[in-house]
Chains A and B, each alone.
Chain A
Amino acid sequence: MTFSWKPTRREFLGGTAAVAGAAAVGVAPFASAFGASYPDRNLKVIIPTREGGGADRNFRAFSGIWKKYLKTKFEPRFYPGASGRVGYEVYMGKNEPDAYSLIFGNMGPELLNWVVKEPESFKVSDYLYFGRVDTDPGCVFVGRKSKFTSIDQIVAEAKKRTLTVGTSRMAHPASIGILYLGEKTGAKFNLIPLSGGKNTVAGAVTGEVDLSVLTSGTVAAKRKSVRTLLVFDDKNKLGERLDNAPTINDHFGTDLPPMLSSRAFGIHKAAVDKYPDRFAVLQATFKKVFTDPDFKAAVKKAKGNWEYINYGGVEECAAYSKSIMKIGARYKSLLSGKS
Protein backbone atom coordinates (compact mmCIF):
# COMPACT_ATOMS: atom_id res chain seq x y z
CA MET A 1 0.00 0.00 0.00
CA THR A 2 2.40 2.64 -1.16
CA PHE A 3 1.95 5.78 -3.13
CA SER A 4 4.59 5.24 -5.75
CA TRP A 5 3.73 8.51 -7.48
CA LYS A 6 4.54 11.96 -6.24
CA PRO A 7 4.85 14.14 -9.33
CA THR A 8 2.83 17.30 -9.72
CA ARG A 9 -0.31 17.18 -11.79
CA ARG A 10 1.29 19.05 -14.67
CA GLU A 11 4.16 16.63 -14.89
CA PHE A 12 2.12 13.54 -15.31
CA LEU A 13 -0.47 15.10 -17.55
CA GLY A 14 2.20 16.66 -19.68
CA GLY A 15 3.44 13.35 -20.97
CA THR A 16 0.29 11.50 -21.88
CA ALA A 17 2.31 9.18 -24.07
CA ALA A 18 4.02 7.90 -20.99
CA VAL A 19 2.97 4.25 -21.14
CA ALA A 20 6.16 2.95 -22.54
CA GLY A 21 8.32 5.99 -22.61
CA ALA A 22 8.51 6.25 -18.85
CA ALA A 23 12.05 4.99 -19.11
CA ALA A 24 13.19 7.68 -21.50
CA VAL A 25 15.98 9.19 -19.47
CA GLY A 26 19.13 9.31 -21.53
CA VAL A 27 18.74 11.78 -24.36
CA ALA A 28 20.96 11.18 -27.34
CA PRO A 29 22.53 14.30 -28.84
CA PHE A 30 21.33 13.34 -32.26
CA ALA A 31 18.71 15.57 -33.78
CA SER A 32 20.80 18.66 -33.24
CA ALA A 33 23.36 17.30 -35.71
CA PHE A 34 21.06 18.49 -38.47
CA GLY A 35 21.58 22.04 -37.42
CA ALA A 36 18.08 23.24 -38.10
CA SER A 37 15.88 23.89 -35.09
CA TYR A 38 13.25 21.38 -36.25
CA PRO A 39 11.30 20.29 -34.32
CA ASP A 40 10.84 23.25 -32.04
CA ARG A 41 7.36 22.26 -30.87
CA ASN A 42 5.27 19.15 -30.29
CA LEU A 43 4.44 16.85 -33.15
CA LYS A 44 0.79 16.07 -33.65
CA VAL A 45 -0.04 12.51 -34.67
CA ILE A 46 -3.41 11.65 -36.16
CA ILE A 47 -4.52 8.12 -35.37
CA PRO A 48 -7.52 7.00 -37.43
CA THR A 49 -8.78 4.48 -34.87
CA ARG A 50 -10.21 4.56 -31.40
CA GLU A 51 -8.28 5.48 -28.29
CA GLY A 52 -7.26 2.36 -26.40
CA GLY A 53 -7.09 0.16 -29.51
CA GLY A 54 -4.12 -1.73 -30.91
CA ALA A 55 -2.80 1.27 -32.82
CA ASP A 56 -2.86 3.34 -29.64
CA ARG A 57 -0.78 0.80 -27.75
CA ASN A 58 1.65 0.41 -30.61
CA PHE A 59 1.98 4.16 -31.00
CA ARG A 60 2.65 4.77 -27.32
CA ALA A 61 5.39 2.15 -27.22
CA PHE A 62 7.08 3.57 -30.30
CA SER A 63 6.69 7.29 -29.70
CA GLY A 64 7.89 6.88 -26.12
CA ILE A 65 11.33 6.05 -27.51
CA TRP A 66 11.24 8.15 -30.67
CA LYS A 67 10.67 11.32 -28.68
CA LYS A 68 14.06 11.12 -27.05
CA TYR A 69 15.82 11.16 -30.45
CA LEU A 70 13.53 13.78 -31.88
CA LYS A 71 13.69 15.82 -28.66
CA THR A 72 10.04 16.68 -28.71
CA LYS A 73 6.77 15.31 -27.48
CA PHE A 74 4.04 13.63 -29.48
CA GLU A 75 0.41 14.60 -29.16
CA PRO A 76 -1.80 11.77 -30.34
CA ARG A 77 -5.26 12.71 -31.64
CA PHE A 78 -7.79 10.00 -32.33
CA TYR A 79 -10.23 10.29 -35.20
CA PRO A 80 -12.02 6.97 -35.59
CA GLY A 81 -14.80 6.41 -38.09
CA ALA A 82 -15.65 4.87 -41.45
CA SER A 83 -12.87 2.26 -41.23
CA GLY A 84 -10.20 4.92 -40.82
CA ARG A 85 -11.36 7.25 -43.60
CA VAL A 86 -12.21 10.02 -41.17
CA GLY A 87 -8.69 10.18 -39.74
CA TYR A 88 -7.12 10.49 -43.17
CA GLU A 89 -9.60 13.14 -44.31
CA VAL A 90 -8.86 15.11 -41.14
CA TYR A 91 -5.10 14.71 -41.55
CA MET A 92 -5.06 15.74 -45.19
CA GLY A 93 -7.75 18.39 -44.96
CA LYS A 94 -7.18 20.08 -41.62
CA ASN A 95 -3.45 19.88 -40.96
CA GLU A 96 -0.77 22.06 -42.52
CA PRO A 97 1.82 20.14 -44.54
CA ASP A 98 4.71 21.43 -42.42
CA ALA A 99 6.11 18.17 -40.99
CA TYR A 100 4.64 19.01 -37.60
CA SER A 101 1.79 16.59 -38.05
CA LEU A 102 1.97 12.91 -38.98
CA ILE A 103 -0.52 10.15 -39.42
CA PHE A 104 -0.06 6.78 -37.75
CA GLY A 105 -2.12 4.26 -39.62
CA ASN A 106 -2.47 0.62 -40.47
CA MET A 107 -1.30 0.50 -44.08
CA GLY A 108 -3.05 -2.74 -45.06
CA PRO A 109 -6.69 -2.06 -44.26
CA GLU A 110 -6.42 1.65 -44.91
CA LEU A 111 -4.95 1.25 -48.39
CA LEU A 112 -7.66 -1.30 -49.13
CA ASN A 113 -10.17 1.43 -48.25
CA TRP A 114 -8.86 3.47 -51.16
CA VAL A 115 -9.16 0.46 -53.45
CA VAL A 116 -12.82 0.14 -52.54
CA LYS A 117 -13.50 3.86 -52.77
CA GLU A 118 -11.14 6.76 -53.50
CA PRO A 119 -10.67 9.29 -50.71
CA GLU A 120 -12.99 12.29 -50.97
CA SER A 121 -10.87 15.38 -50.58
CA PHE A 122 -7.39 14.27 -51.65
CA LYS A 123 -5.53 11.81 -53.84
CA VAL A 124 -3.84 8.67 -52.48
CA SER A 125 -0.55 9.99 -53.86
CA ASP A 126 -0.86 13.17 -51.76
CA TYR A 127 0.64 11.42 -48.75
CA LEU A 128 3.30 8.79 -48.29
CA TYR A 129 4.26 6.31 -45.63
CA PHE A 130 7.88 6.69 -44.56
CA GLY A 131 8.19 4.69 -41.36
CA ARG A 132 6.96 1.15 -40.99
CA VAL A 133 6.88 -0.05 -37.42
CA ASP A 134 5.69 -3.63 -37.75
CA THR A 135 4.38 -6.28 -40.08
CA ASP A 136 1.66 -8.38 -38.51
CA PRO A 137 0.26 -11.22 -40.64
CA GLY A 138 -3.40 -12.19 -40.60
CA CYS A 139 -4.50 -15.55 -39.22
CA VAL A 140 -7.55 -17.80 -38.98
CA PHE A 141 -8.77 -18.74 -35.50
CA VAL A 142 -11.70 -20.23 -33.61
CA GLY A 143 -12.85 -20.08 -29.99
CA ARG A 144 -11.34 -22.62 -27.60
CA LYS A 145 -14.73 -24.32 -27.36
CA SER A 146 -15.18 -24.65 -31.13
CA LYS A 147 -15.54 -28.10 -32.62
CA PHE A 148 -12.93 -27.22 -35.25
CA THR A 149 -9.37 -28.14 -34.32
CA SER A 150 -7.68 -27.86 -37.70
CA ILE A 151 -7.92 -25.83 -40.88
CA ASP A 152 -8.66 -29.03 -42.82
CA GLN A 153 -11.82 -29.61 -40.81
CA ILE A 154 -12.89 -26.06 -41.60
CA VAL A 155 -12.26 -26.39 -45.31
CA ALA A 156 -14.06 -29.76 -45.40
CA GLU A 157 -17.09 -28.28 -43.59
CA ALA A 158 -17.06 -25.13 -45.73
CA LYS A 159 -17.30 -27.24 -48.85
CA LYS A 160 -20.58 -28.62 -47.51
CA ARG A 161 -22.08 -25.39 -46.18
CA THR A 162 -21.11 -21.72 -46.12
CA LEU A 163 -19.24 -20.87 -42.93
CA THR A 164 -19.50 -17.43 -41.35
CA VAL A 165 -16.21 -15.66 -40.82
CA GLY A 166 -15.86 -12.77 -38.40
CA THR A 167 -13.50 -10.02 -39.51
CA SER A 168 -12.56 -6.65 -38.17
CA ARG A 169 -13.66 -4.94 -41.40
CA MET A 170 -14.40 -6.09 -44.94
CA ALA A 171 -11.46 -4.28 -46.49
CA HIS A 172 -8.75 -5.99 -44.46
CA PRO A 173 -5.77 -8.11 -45.53
CA ALA A 174 -6.99 -10.98 -43.35
CA SER A 175 -10.38 -10.88 -45.15
CA ILE A 176 -8.53 -11.23 -48.45
CA GLY A 177 -6.62 -14.18 -47.02
CA ILE A 178 -9.75 -16.15 -46.24
CA LEU A 179 -11.39 -15.22 -49.58
CA TYR A 180 -8.26 -16.49 -51.32
CA LEU A 181 -8.38 -19.73 -49.34
CA GLY A 182 -11.99 -20.20 -50.40
CA GLU A 183 -11.09 -19.57 -54.02
CA LYS A 184 -8.24 -22.12 -53.97
CA THR A 185 -10.05 -24.89 -52.10
CA GLY A 186 -13.64 -24.43 -53.19
CA ALA A 187 -14.68 -23.75 -49.61
CA LYS A 188 -17.48 -21.22 -49.10
CA PHE A 189 -16.94 -18.36 -46.64
CA ASN A 190 -19.28 -15.51 -45.75
CA LEU A 191 -17.47 -12.51 -44.24
CA ILE A 192 -19.22 -10.84 -41.29
CA PRO A 193 -17.66 -7.51 -40.29
CA LEU A 194 -17.66 -7.19 -36.50
CA SER A 195 -15.99 -3.74 -36.21
CA GLY A 196 -12.66 -3.94 -34.46
CA GLY A 197 -10.34 -6.57 -33.09
CA LYS A 198 -12.08 -6.83 -29.73
CA ASN A 199 -15.43 -7.78 -31.25
CA THR A 200 -13.85 -10.08 -33.80
CA VAL A 201 -12.26 -12.14 -31.05
CA ALA A 202 -15.52 -12.05 -29.07
CA GLY A 203 -17.45 -13.26 -32.14
CA ALA A 204 -15.31 -16.37 -32.48
CA VAL A 205 -15.24 -17.07 -28.74
CA THR A 206 -18.99 -16.75 -28.21
CA GLY A 207 -19.89 -18.67 -31.38
CA GLU A 208 -21.57 -15.72 -33.13
CA VAL A 209 -19.49 -16.74 -36.16
CA ASP A 210 -17.96 -20.11 -37.08
CA LEU A 211 -14.44 -18.71 -37.25
CA SER A 212 -12.68 -15.35 -37.41
CA VAL A 213 -9.75 -13.78 -39.19
CA LEU A 214 -7.62 -11.04 -37.68
CA THR A 215 -4.06 -9.78 -37.39
CA SER A 216 -2.23 -12.47 -35.48
CA GLY A 217 -0.60 -10.13 -32.98
CA THR A 218 -3.97 -9.44 -31.39
CA VAL A 219 -4.92 -13.11 -31.55
CA ALA A 220 -1.72 -14.23 -29.82
CA ALA A 221 -2.57 -11.91 -26.91
CA LYS A 222 -5.89 -13.77 -26.47
CA ARG A 223 -4.49 -17.26 -26.90
CA LYS A 224 -6.14 -18.57 -23.76
CA SER A 225 -9.60 -18.07 -25.24
CA VAL A 226 -8.89 -18.87 -28.91
CA ARG A 227 -7.15 -21.43 -31.09
CA THR A 228 -5.21 -20.33 -34.19
CA LEU A 229 -5.51 -22.63 -37.18
CA LEU A 230 -3.77 -20.90 -40.09
CA VAL A 231 -1.37 -18.02 -40.67
CA PHE A 232 -1.25 -15.88 -43.83
CA ASP A 233 2.53 -15.48 -43.85
CA ASP A 234 5.62 -17.29 -45.09
CA LYS A 235 6.40 -18.54 -41.62
CA ASN A 236 4.59 -18.78 -38.25
CA LYS A 237 6.97 -16.46 -36.47
CA LEU A 238 5.21 -16.70 -33.11
CA GLY A 239 5.11 -20.52 -33.11
CA GLU A 240 3.64 -21.71 -29.83
CA ARG A 241 1.83 -18.42 -29.23
CA LEU A 242 -0.19 -19.09 -32.39
CA ASP A 243 -0.67 -22.76 -31.53
CA ASN A 244 2.04 -23.73 -34.07
CA ALA A 245 -0.55 -23.19 -36.79
CA PRO A 246 0.67 -23.90 -40.35
CA THR A 247 1.03 -21.20 -42.99
CA ILE A 248 -1.36 -21.16 -45.93
CA ASN A 249 1.33 -21.63 -48.56
CA ASP A 250 2.98 -24.56 -46.73
CA HIS A 251 -0.28 -26.28 -46.02
CA PHE A 252 -2.16 -25.76 -49.26
CA GLY A 253 0.75 -25.26 -51.67
CA THR A 254 -0.53 -21.83 -52.66
CA ASP A 255 1.51 -18.71 -53.40
CA LEU A 256 -0.32 -15.98 -51.51
CA PRO A 257 1.95 -13.10 -50.55
CA PRO A 258 1.93 -12.44 -46.79
CA MET A 259 -1.36 -10.77 -45.82
CA LEU A 260 0.06 -8.17 -43.50
CA SER A 261 -1.35 -5.44 -41.42
CA SER A 262 1.40 -2.96 -41.11
CA ARG A 263 1.44 0.04 -38.84
CA ALA A 264 3.36 2.96 -40.25
CA PHE A 265 3.82 6.70 -39.98
CA GLY A 266 2.77 8.75 -42.95
CA ILE A 267 3.26 12.38 -43.93
CA HIS A 268 1.91 14.89 -46.45
CA LYS A 269 3.75 14.62 -49.76
CA ALA A 270 3.75 18.42 -49.84
CA ALA A 271 5.67 18.53 -46.55
CA VAL A 272 8.33 16.20 -47.94
CA ASP A 273 8.75 18.38 -51.01
CA LYS A 274 8.76 21.65 -49.13
CA TYR A 275 10.86 20.68 -46.11
CA PRO A 276 13.30 17.95 -47.21
CA ASP A 277 15.58 18.75 -44.24
CA ARG A 278 12.77 18.19 -41.74
CA PHE A 279 11.80 14.98 -43.47
CA ALA A 280 15.42 13.82 -43.25
CA VAL A 281 15.38 14.41 -39.48
CA LEU A 282 12.21 12.38 -39.16
CA GLN A 283 13.59 9.50 -41.21
CA ALA A 284 16.93 9.33 -39.47
CA THR A 285 15.56 9.54 -35.93
CA PHE A 286 12.80 7.06 -36.77
CA LYS A 287 15.32 4.42 -37.79
CA LYS A 288 17.33 4.88 -34.58
CA VAL A 289 14.43 3.63 -32.47
CA PHE A 290 14.73 0.07 -33.76
CA THR A 291 18.21 -0.45 -32.36
CA ASP A 292 17.39 1.07 -28.99
CA PRO A 293 17.17 -1.61 -26.28
CA ASP A 294 14.54 0.46 -24.47
CA PHE A 295 12.23 -0.02 -27.45
CA LYS A 296 12.39 -3.79 -27.17
CA ALA A 297 11.64 -3.50 -23.46
CA ALA A 298 8.71 -1.17 -24.17
CA VAL A 299 7.22 -3.56 -26.75
CA LYS A 300 7.53 -6.47 -24.33
CA LYS A 301 6.01 -4.43 -21.55
CA ALA A 302 3.02 -3.50 -23.72
CA LYS A 303 2.56 -7.22 -24.50
CA GLY A 304 3.54 -6.67 -28.12
CA ASN A 305 5.29 -9.23 -30.30
CA TRP A 306 8.91 -8.28 -30.91
CA GLU A 307 9.06 -10.78 -33.80
CA TYR A 308 6.68 -8.53 -35.76
CA ILE A 309 8.64 -5.32 -35.25
CA ASN A 310 10.09 -4.67 -38.66
CA TYR A 311 11.74 -1.44 -39.75
CA GLY A 312 10.79 -0.12 -43.17
CA GLY A 313 11.53 3.16 -44.90
CA VAL A 314 9.93 4.95 -47.83
CA GLU A 315 10.84 2.22 -50.33
CA GLU A 316 9.62 -0.71 -48.28
CA CYS A 317 6.36 1.07 -47.59
CA ALA A 318 5.89 1.91 -51.27
CA ALA A 319 6.52 -1.69 -52.29
CA TYR A 320 4.03 -2.91 -49.73
CA SER A 321 1.43 -0.35 -50.82
CA LYS A 322 1.75 -1.45 -54.42
CA SER A 323 1.33 -5.13 -53.68
CA ILE A 324 -1.63 -4.78 -51.30
CA MET A 325 -3.48 -2.46 -53.69
CA LYS A 326 -2.88 -4.87 -56.55
CA ILE A 327 -4.32 -7.86 -54.72
CA GLY A 328 -7.09 -5.69 -53.25
CA ALA A 329 -8.19 -4.72 -56.76
CA ARG A 330 -8.80 -8.40 -57.53
CA TYR A 331 -11.27 -8.69 -54.66
CA LYS A 332 -12.79 -5.23 -55.03
CA SER A 333 -16.34 -6.38 -55.70
CA LEU A 334 -16.38 -8.74 -52.73
CA LEU A 335 -14.98 -6.09 -50.40
CA SER A 336 -17.28 -3.29 -51.51
CA GLY A 337 -20.52 -5.22 -51.85
CA LYS A 338 -20.94 -4.01 -55.42
CA SER A 339 -20.60 -6.32 -58.36
Chain B
Amino acid sequence: MTDVPSNPAPAKSRAEIEKQPRGGELVIPGAAIAFSLYYFSTILDSPWTAQVSAFFIGAVLILLSLVFMVRTWIELQRGKASLRFTSLVNRTDLSSGRLGLFAITLGYILLIDWAGFTITTYFFLFFSMLLLNRGRKAGFAAALSAIMALGGYALFILAFDTRFPEGPFEIFMKAALNNGG
Protein backbone atom coordinates (compact mmCIF):
# COMPACT_ATOMS: atom_id res chain seq x y z
CA MET B 1 0.00 0.00 0.00
CA THR B 2 0.89 3.61 -0.16
CA ASP B 3 3.20 5.32 2.27
CA VAL B 4 1.43 7.10 5.05
CA PRO B 5 2.64 10.66 5.30
CA SER B 6 2.94 11.42 8.96
CA ASN B 7 0.15 13.77 9.76
CA PRO B 8 1.56 17.26 10.17
CA ALA B 9 1.32 19.20 13.36
CA PRO B 10 -2.21 19.78 14.61
CA ALA B 11 -1.96 23.52 14.22
CA LYS B 12 -3.43 24.08 10.78
CA SER B 13 -5.38 26.86 9.23
CA ARG B 14 -9.06 26.22 8.57
CA ALA B 15 -8.64 26.53 4.84
CA GLU B 16 -6.02 23.83 4.85
CA ILE B 17 -8.32 21.40 6.61
CA GLU B 18 -11.10 21.92 4.09
CA LYS B 19 -8.84 21.16 1.14
CA GLN B 20 -9.78 17.97 -0.65
CA PRO B 21 -7.08 15.35 0.08
CA ARG B 22 -6.41 14.23 -3.50
CA GLY B 23 -3.25 12.22 -2.86
CA GLY B 24 -5.12 8.95 -2.50
CA GLU B 25 -7.11 9.53 -5.64
CA LEU B 26 -3.91 9.72 -7.65
CA VAL B 27 -2.89 6.20 -6.72
CA ILE B 28 -5.16 4.49 -9.26
CA PRO B 29 -4.31 6.75 -12.23
CA GLY B 30 -0.62 6.50 -11.32
CA ALA B 31 -0.77 2.73 -11.16
CA ALA B 32 -2.79 2.68 -14.38
CA ILE B 33 -0.09 4.62 -16.25
CA ALA B 34 2.68 2.46 -14.83
CA PHE B 35 0.86 -0.75 -15.67
CA SER B 36 0.02 0.39 -19.22
CA LEU B 37 3.63 1.29 -19.90
CA TYR B 38 4.78 -2.06 -18.55
CA TYR B 39 2.17 -3.80 -20.68
CA PHE B 40 3.34 -1.94 -23.79
CA SER B 41 6.90 -3.05 -23.09
CA THR B 42 5.81 -6.69 -23.29
CA ILE B 43 4.21 -6.39 -26.73
CA LEU B 44 6.67 -4.16 -28.56
CA ASP B 45 7.83 -6.88 -30.93
CA SER B 46 4.65 -8.96 -30.99
CA PRO B 47 2.47 -9.52 -34.05
CA TRP B 48 -0.09 -6.79 -34.71
CA THR B 49 -2.93 -8.94 -33.42
CA ALA B 50 -1.41 -8.84 -29.95
CA GLN B 51 -0.96 -5.09 -30.07
CA VAL B 52 -3.90 -3.37 -31.70
CA SER B 53 -6.47 -3.63 -28.93
CA ALA B 54 -4.03 -3.15 -26.05
CA PHE B 55 -2.38 -0.08 -27.57
CA PHE B 56 -5.79 1.50 -28.04
CA ILE B 57 -7.05 0.75 -24.53
CA GLY B 58 -3.71 1.66 -22.95
CA ALA B 59 -3.50 4.94 -24.81
CA VAL B 60 -7.00 5.96 -23.72
CA LEU B 61 -6.24 4.92 -20.14
CA ILE B 62 -3.03 6.94 -20.05
CA LEU B 63 -4.79 9.92 -21.58
CA LEU B 64 -7.65 9.79 -19.06
CA SER B 65 -5.20 9.42 -16.18
CA LEU B 66 -3.17 12.39 -17.37
CA VAL B 67 -6.31 14.50 -17.71
CA PHE B 68 -7.19 13.57 -14.14
CA MET B 69 -3.74 14.59 -12.97
CA VAL B 70 -4.01 17.90 -14.76
CA ARG B 71 -7.43 18.45 -13.17
CA THR B 72 -5.92 17.75 -9.75
CA TRP B 73 -3.01 20.06 -10.47
CA ILE B 74 -5.41 22.89 -11.33
CA GLU B 75 -7.28 22.28 -8.08
CA LEU B 76 -3.97 22.43 -6.24
CA GLN B 77 -3.11 25.71 -7.89
CA ARG B 78 -6.45 27.15 -6.88
CA GLY B 79 -5.89 25.95 -3.33
CA LYS B 80 -8.93 23.65 -3.41
CA ALA B 81 -7.01 20.45 -2.89
CA SER B 82 -4.01 19.03 -1.13
CA LEU B 83 -1.84 16.04 -1.91
CA ARG B 84 -2.52 14.32 1.39
CA PHE B 85 -3.42 10.63 1.43
CA THR B 86 -5.92 10.79 4.27
CA SER B 87 -8.78 9.51 2.11
CA LEU B 88 -6.81 6.31 1.57
CA VAL B 89 -4.87 5.77 4.76
CA ASN B 90 -5.41 7.45 8.12
CA ARG B 91 -5.20 6.77 11.82
CA THR B 92 -8.52 4.95 12.03
CA ASP B 93 -7.00 2.23 9.87
CA LEU B 94 -4.79 1.32 12.75
CA SER B 95 -7.41 1.74 15.45
CA SER B 96 -10.11 -0.16 13.56
CA GLY B 97 -7.73 -3.09 13.17
CA ARG B 98 -7.70 -2.79 9.39
CA LEU B 99 -3.94 -2.94 9.01
CA GLY B 100 -3.80 -5.78 11.50
CA LEU B 101 -6.46 -7.66 9.57
CA PHE B 102 -4.51 -7.18 6.36
CA ALA B 103 -1.40 -8.63 8.00
CA ILE B 104 -3.37 -11.63 9.28
CA THR B 105 -4.88 -12.18 5.82
CA LEU B 106 -1.48 -12.15 4.21
CA GLY B 107 -0.28 -14.61 6.83
CA TYR B 108 -3.26 -16.82 6.07
CA ILE B 109 -2.35 -17.18 2.40
CA LEU B 110 1.33 -17.65 3.15
CA LEU B 111 0.74 -20.36 5.74
CA ILE B 112 -2.11 -22.30 4.12
CA ASP B 113 0.29 -24.00 1.74
CA TRP B 114 2.25 -25.26 4.66
CA ALA B 115 -0.19 -25.93 7.49
CA GLY B 116 -3.13 -27.02 5.36
CA PHE B 117 -6.60 -25.65 4.85
CA THR B 118 -8.40 -26.47 8.09
CA ILE B 119 -5.84 -25.43 10.68
CA THR B 120 -4.87 -22.23 8.88
CA THR B 121 -8.48 -21.23 8.34
CA TYR B 122 -9.20 -21.83 12.01
CA PHE B 123 -6.34 -19.63 13.18
CA PHE B 124 -7.11 -16.96 10.62
CA LEU B 125 -10.74 -16.72 11.72
CA PHE B 126 -9.89 -16.84 15.40
CA PHE B 127 -7.16 -14.22 15.38
CA SER B 128 -8.98 -11.82 13.11
CA MET B 129 -12.19 -12.04 15.16
CA LEU B 130 -10.16 -11.51 18.30
CA LEU B 131 -8.45 -8.50 16.75
CA LEU B 132 -11.70 -6.92 15.56
CA ASN B 133 -13.33 -7.58 18.95
CA ARG B 134 -10.31 -6.14 20.75
CA GLY B 135 -9.69 -9.32 22.66
CA ARG B 136 -13.22 -9.75 23.98
CA LYS B 137 -15.39 -12.86 23.62
CA ALA B 138 -12.41 -15.09 22.89
CA GLY B 139 -14.33 -18.24 23.76
CA PHE B 140 -17.11 -17.48 21.34
CA ALA B 141 -14.65 -16.59 18.60
CA ALA B 142 -12.78 -19.85 19.18
CA ALA B 143 -15.95 -21.91 18.96
CA LEU B 144 -17.28 -20.10 15.89
CA SER B 145 -13.92 -20.40 14.14
CA ALA B 146 -13.79 -24.11 14.87
CA ILE B 147 -17.29 -24.67 13.49
CA MET B 148 -16.50 -22.66 10.36
CA ALA B 149 -13.15 -24.31 9.71
CA LEU B 150 -14.55 -27.81 10.22
CA GLY B 151 -17.61 -26.93 8.14
CA GLY B 152 -15.29 -25.70 5.40
CA TYR B 153 -13.31 -28.92 5.64
CA ALA B 154 -16.48 -30.99 5.34
CA LEU B 155 -17.82 -28.99 2.40
CA PHE B 156 -14.71 -28.27 0.36
CA ILE B 157 -12.52 -31.25 1.05
CA LEU B 158 -14.87 -34.09 2.00
CA ALA B 159 -17.91 -33.26 -0.10
CA PHE B 160 -16.36 -31.55 -3.10
CA ASP B 161 -12.96 -33.21 -3.14
CA THR B 162 -11.19 -29.89 -3.70
CA ARG B 163 -7.41 -30.27 -3.75
CA PHE B 164 -6.53 -27.83 -1.02
CA PRO B 165 -3.04 -27.86 0.39
CA GLU B 166 -2.90 -30.62 2.95
CA GLY B 167 -1.59 -30.12 6.45
CA PRO B 168 -1.38 -32.28 9.56
CA PHE B 169 -5.17 -32.19 10.06
CA GLU B 170 -6.08 -33.29 6.54
CA ILE B 171 -3.46 -36.03 6.53
CA PHE B 172 -4.67 -37.31 9.87
CA MET B 173 -8.32 -37.26 8.79
CA LYS B 174 -7.49 -39.03 5.54
CA ALA B 175 -5.76 -41.82 7.39
CA ALA B 176 -8.59 -42.06 9.91
CA LEU B 177 -11.27 -42.17 7.22
CA ASN B 178 -9.40 -44.70 5.14
CA ASN B 179 -8.98 -47.01 8.08
CA GLY B 180 -12.55 -46.56 9.12
CA GLY B 181 -13.98 -47.05 5.63
Contact = CB atoms under 8 A, between A and B. Distances in A.
User: Are chains A and B touching in the complex at the 8 Å CB cutoff?
Assistant: yes
Interface of A: 8-10, 13, 16, 336-338
A10 B177 contact: yes
B47 A338 contact: yes
Contacts of A337: 47-49
B181 A10 contact: yes
Nearest to B177: A10
B159 interface: yes
Given A337-B47, A337-B49, A9 B159 contact: yes
Contacts of A8: 181
A336 B47 contact: yes
Contacts of A10: 177, 181
Closest 8 CB pairs of A and B: A337-B47, A13-B161, A10-B181, A338-B47, A337-B49, A336-B47, A9-B159, A337-B48
Interface in B55-82: none
Nearest to B159: A9
A129 B47 CA distance: 31
Contacts of A338: 47
12 contacts: A8-B181, A9-B158, A9-B159, A10-B177, A10-B181, A13-B161, A16-B161, A336-B47, A337-B47, A337-B48, A337-B49, A338-B47
Given A10-B177, A336-B47, 10 more contacts: A8-B181, A9-B158, A9-B159, A10-B181, A13-B161, A16-B161, A337-B47, A337-B48, A337-B49, A338-B47
Interface of B: 47-49, 158-159, 161, 177, 181
Contacts of B177: 10
B98 to A, nearest CB: 35
A13 B48 CA distance: 46
A2 to B, nearest CB: 24
A13 B161 CA distance: 7
Contacts of B47: 336-338
Nearest to A13: B161
A335 to B, nearest CB: 11
A112 to B, nearest CB: 16
Contacts of B161: 13, 16
Contacts of B159: 9
A16 B158 CA distance: 14
Nearest to A10: B181
A306 B158 CA distance: 38
Contacts of B49: 337
Contacts of A9: 158-159
Contacts of A13: 161
A337 B51 CA distance: 12
A336 B48 CA distance: 11
A10 B178 CA distance: 10
A16 B162 CA distance: 12
A320 B149 CA distance: 52
A72 B158 CA distance: 21
Nearest to A339: B47
A9 B49 CA distance: 48
A130 to B, nearest CB: 27
Nearest to A77: B163
Nearest to B47: A337
B177 to A, nearest CB: 7
Nearest to B181: A10
Nearest to A75: B163
A13 B156 CA distance: 13
A80 B159 CA distance: 25
Contacts of B181: 8, 10
A337 B47 CA distance: 6
B176 to A, nearest CB: 13
A13 B159 CA distance: 9
A10 B179 CA distance: 13
A8 B181 CA distance: 10
A10 B177 CA distance: 10
Nearest to B48: A337
A338 B158 CA distance: 50
B85 to A, nearest CB: 38
Contacts of B48: 337
B159 to A, nearest CB: 7
A44 B47 CA distance: 36
A9 B159 CA distance: 8
B100 to A, nearest CB: 34
B131 to A, nearest CB: 35
A157 B177 CA distance: 66
Nearest to A14: B161
Contacts of A336: 47
